[in-house]
Structures are given as C-alpha cells and as structure tokens.
Amino acid sequence: MTAPTMTPYRSDAPPGRDGFAQLVRAEWTKFRTVRGWLIGTLIAALVTMGLGWFAGVGGSSSCSTGNGPARSGRSCAPTFTQGPGGEPVTDNFYFVRQPLAGNGSITVRVTSLTGQLPIMNNHLGNPNQQEQFRPGLQPWAKAGLIIKDGTAQGSAYAAIMVTGDHGVRFQSDYTQDTPGLPGAVSAASPRWLRLTRSGDTITGYDSADGTHWTQVGSARLNGLPKVAEAGLFATSPIYQSFTENFGGGSSGSEEPSTATGVFDQVGLSGSWPAGAWTGSYVGSGDYSPGIGSYRQSQGRFTVTGSGDIAPVVSGPSGPGGPVITIANLLIGTFAGLIALIVVATLFITAEYRRGLIRTTLAASPRRGRVLAAKAVVIGSASFVTGLVAAAGAVAVGEQIARSRQFIFPVSWATELRIVVGTAALIAVVAVLALAAGAMVRRSAAGVTLVIAIVVLPYFLAIIAALPDSVADWIVRLTPAAAFAVQQAVPAYPQVEAIYSPAGGYYPLPPWAGLLVLCGWAALALTAAIWLLRRRDA
C-alpha cells in the first residue's frame, strides 16, 4: 500500500516584500494608530508655538521710561541705529575730521592712549549721584583713523585704531574686525597708522617705526560718495562690572568711560579741500554721554571721546528694555521636546509593557532594522512636527512681537537655519529618546534619563549657580549643545559682553552643536541596537 502523497501547503497569497521600506511602513502604522501618541505630538507643536507667542507678547505691558533706547511713536518697541547691514549698532565717538574728496590717505603716529573708568557703584539706587572716575582703560577703548560716509548715524566706515587691550585693529562697517600689531601704545612704543582710500576700497596699515608698514586689512564700502569724512577719532565703550549672581547668570552695572588718544606727525595725501580740522561728537541717544573734546597744538592732537562704534549685542549685557531675538520665540522648544520625548520613549517602551515586542521581533527577526525603522518613523514625525511648530512660533511670534518689542534683525538664511535646525534638534532628541527607551525598557526611566541629559544641562547652564566657564562646558559636551542651532545673534569679539548661554550665546557654532547631539543619538542608537540583539525579547 502506498502512502497517499500529501502536497505540502503553499500559500496562494502573493509574497510580501521584505524590505526596510516595509518595516518603516509597519512602524508608521503602529505610530499613527495610537491616539495618545498623535495627541502628544499635537501638544508638542501647540506648546512650542504657544510659549513662543507668549514670549512675543512678553514685554508689552510695561513701556518703561527713563534710561533706555529711544522708542518710536506709539509703539513700545525701542529703535536702534542700524548699520549698513540693518543690524543694530552704536555709532558714538568724537570725530576730528575734514572732507576727503576722492582718493587719498592719512597717516598718523599715536603716542598714547589713556582713559577714565567710572568708580562703580554697586548700589544702583541713586541716579543723581555724581559720577566719579579713576584712570584706566576699557579694553576696547579706541583711538585712530576713520574714513566714513558722512556723520549720519549708522553710516558705513572703515577705521584703523589702537585699543585698550587688543592692540591695533582694522574695523569696518561695525561687524568686521581684523587684528594688527599687538601690545599697548605708549610714548616709548608708539604706533604709526595709515588709512588709504582708492575708490570704494579703504585699506589700513600699521607700523611700529613709521618706515616698515604692514597691511592690516581692507574693506569695500559700497556706494561711498566721492567726498567722505576722514580724520581722527576716539571713543570708549560702556564699562560694565559684572557680579556672578546666584540663580540667574550675572547682573552688572554699566557706566560710561572715556578714552584719550594723542596723535602727531599727521600726514595727508590726496585732495583735502577744507584744509582745516573740525571737531564734533558723532552720535546721540541715552547711551552715549556725548563726552568729547580735542586740542591741537604744534601738530599734536589730543582727542577724547566716549561711546563705541560697534554692533549692539543682545542678552543681559545688551541695552535693556524689551529686546528679543528669534531664539526667544523658540523658548517653547523645551516644552515641545518634553512632550515628544514622552511620545518617542513610549514608542518603544509600550511594546515591552505588554509583550508586543515579541510579536514585533517575531515578525521581523532582524532586530537592528526594527529599531532603525522606528527611528526613521519617530525622527521624521518629530522633524515635521518641529518644523511646523518652529515655523509657526517664529512667523506668528514675530508678528506679535513687532509692535511690542525690538526683534534683532537676522538674515533669512539665519532664520531658516534656526527654524530647520530646531526641527532637526527635536527630531534627533526624539531618536535619542527612542534609543534610551530601548535600552532601559521602562517608560519613566527613559523619559527621565533623556530629560536629564537634554533639558537639565540647559537649565543648569542658564539658571543654576554655575560659573559661566562651567556652563560653557556643559553646553559644549551634553546634548544641550544642540541649542546652539538657535543662536540668532553672533558673538562679536570686539564688543565686551558676557556671551553666556543665558544670553543666547553658545560656545559652539550652530551646526557643530547639533552635531554633538547627533553624536549622542548615534551612540545611544548603536548601544540600543547592540542590546536589543543581545538580550532576550
């Protein structure tokens, strides 16, 4: 008897494709079919935008009077002098000048730079107190040569100068700064400076002996009229004394200082039609005390001035009053992050709670790919959420803030970098949370861990009682470094200020900061995949 041959069962169903795309699709289906996760994602977007709008409103109820930048019309927003690039600048100095028609140059020897610093009074309560001075130089006190597009506030210029602590510098259009000869100036070691104009291009030279000249820098001032103002200048920035403050960065008191430069051996070439020098103070406003004077005797010019020719910086050391940056409109990122950290962690830990992970891993035994697919899904969903939230917070927040506060103008490229960078930051943190969840397999532990390494460092850096040096390292090494991508205003080395994370300044460049976070996420994801492969499900 022959045994009946049994044909083994073969499914008629067309075989499913076994690719990464299918895994991603499966994980996406898992993600979108849990209502709580969608709600969490929505909440993340809403709180991010809502807090941004709140920050936009943030200063409206008080238009403080008194010392503060000038304000325009009915609006509470302060106005600033704007430089050629539209950035807020200070343009206050004492100017000994005469017109320069067409090409030409001016050479001078600087034999001394001295100054007066205020005796700081830490009790700010008495504004009527007579200001008292002691001899001393603000590090960025300046005296030198300048060629400028008239004396209008914010006009283009190029200048070469000696400074209090930073040697010879060539600066132009407020934001540009190039170093020249180092060292302080004195009668024993004077500095020769030269500024030449050729068309729109101004070039600065320095020399220690008046014979060997070195080019320090040159700048092209577009649209410089044929007749520009040129001559000697002196100015000295606000002197700030900072106190490390517990529980909120630093507080400082700010008072004006003065600088006095002594020039001789003035040499002119080219066309100087006026033939005589005029001295006047350039600038106005509450922050410039208008101190300045000049004396001329036997070819020797003594010029004293106060103020600065430099960009305005934001933050606690900025000019006070309702001034914000785009980064302030994105403060809700933290709330959004927390919501998405919860969702991303649950995306994996929820599988462990009820044993769904076994079904998942039985359906796709290549475990690394499962986690990678999850990362793709949660990363993409978070990126889109972050993009919508950040764009909404910035776009609407700017409208809200416009009439109430001064928003530091930034280029559209910077704005795009901040918005897209914020979305990327949120996406990478979500992937980090997923990896942490896969490693610890418990929701509460995962969420706490990720909040502790992403949000707490930022909190510690800006709020807690850590010195700025420690805070700097925290935002360099921890995932919180990625918040550098939100830095709206660059730190200008030629402006004395505390560039701390609390003021929106980060030690790392924007994308480098994001890269630090990516490094953390990559490390965590690798470790998570390794553990997932190694452990029993």
Contact positions vs another protein (CB under 8 A): 40, 51, 54-55, 58-62, 122, 243-248, 321-324, 328, 331-332, 334-335, 338-339, 341-342, 345-346, 349, 353, 405, 442-448, 451-452, 455-456, 458-460, 462-467, 470, 502
Q: Give whichever of 152 and 463 is closer to another protein, judged by the CB atom.
A: 463
Q: How far is the CB of 238 from another protein (least distance, A)?
A: 19
**Beta partners for 161?**
144, 169
* Angle, CA of 502, 506 and 510, to the nearest 5°: 135
Least distance in Å: CB of 363 to another protein?
20
Q: How far is the CB of 386 from another protein (least distance, A)?
A: 17
The CB-of-455 to another protein minimum distance in angstroms stands at: 6
Task: Quote the least distance from Cβ 503 to another protein, whole Å.
Answer: 10
DSSP 107-174: EEEEEEEEEEEE---S-TT-TTSPP-EEE---TT-EEEEEEES-SSTT--EEEEEEESSS-EEEEETT
For another protein, give the closer residue by CB, 462 or 528. Answer: 462
CB 389 within 8 A of CB 49: yes
Q: CA 182 from chain center: how many Å?
A: 27
Work out how close the CB of 495 gets to another protein at its nearest, in angstroms, rounded to a whole number.
20
CB nearer to another protein: pick between 260 and 333: 333
> CB of residue 241 vs another protein: minimum separation in angstroms?
9
Instruction: Read off the DSSP letter of residue 485.
Output: G
- Look at residues 421, 418, 417 and name the one whose alpha carbon lies nearest to residue 429: 421
- Vertex 8: Cα angle to 7 and 9 (nearest 5): 115
Radius of gyration over every alpha carbon of the chain, rounded to an integer in angstroms: 30
Which C-beta is closer to another protein: that of 293 or that of 448? 448
Q: Least distance (Å) from another protein to the CB of residue 496? A: 18
Q: Residue 535 in contact with residue 371, Cβ under 8 Å?
A: no
- What are 133's strand-pairing partners? 118
Check residue 489 and give left, alpha or beta (phi > 0: left; psi -120 to 50: alpha): beta
Residue that the structure tokens 């939230």 belong to? 389
Q: How far is the CB of 37 from another protein (least distance, A)?
A: 11
Helix (H, G, I), strand (E, B) or coil at 237: coil
Element (H, E) at 183: none
Q: Which is nearer to another protein, 152 or 356 (CB)?
A: 356
* Nearest-approach distance from CB 390 to another protein, in angstroms: 15
Q: What is the dihedral of CA 385, 389, 391, 393, to 10 degrees?
A: 180
Residue whose C-alpha is closest to residue 115's, from 261, 285, 328, 294: 261
Min dist CB 18 to another protein, Å, is 22
Provide, rounded to whole angstroms, the least separation between the CB of residue 209 and another protein: 40
Is the Cβ of residue 244 or residue 286 nearer to another protein in the bound state?
244
Q: Which is nearer to another protein, 191 or 441 (CB)?
A: 441
State which amino acid sits at residue 26: A
Query: Hey, what are 469's tokens?
Result: 């040096």
Residue 358 or 366: which CB sits closer to another protein?
Answer: 358
- The SS3 assignment for 274 reads coil
Give the alpha-carbon dihedral of 321, 322, 327, 329, to 10 degrees. 160
Give dist(CA 55, CA 51) in Å, integer: 6
Q: Are 423 and 80 in contact (CB under 8 A)?
A: no
Rounded to 10 deg, the angle between the 356-363 and 367-402 helix axes is: 110
Contact 446, 440 (CB under 8 A): yes
Q: What span, in angstroms and rounded, lies between the C-alpha atoms of 422 and 463? A: 21
Q: How far is the CB of 445 from another protein (least distance, A)?
A: 7
DSSP 8-state assignment for residue 3: P
Cα 299 vs. chain centroid, distance in angstroms? 44
Q: What contacts 24+ positions apart, CB below 8 Å, involve 3-9?
A: none
- For tokens 């830990």, name the residue: 349
Please report how close the Cβ of residue 236 comes to another protein at its closest, in angstroms. Answer: 24
Nearer to another protein, 106 or 323 (CB): 323
Residue among 322 and 510 whose Cβ is closer to another protein? 322
Pick 145 or 326: Cβ nearer another protein: 326
Identify which of residues 70 and 465 has a Cβ nearer to another protein in the complex. 465
Comparison of 53 and 383: residue with beta carbon closer to another protein: 53
> Closer to another protein at the Cβ: 15 or 299?
15
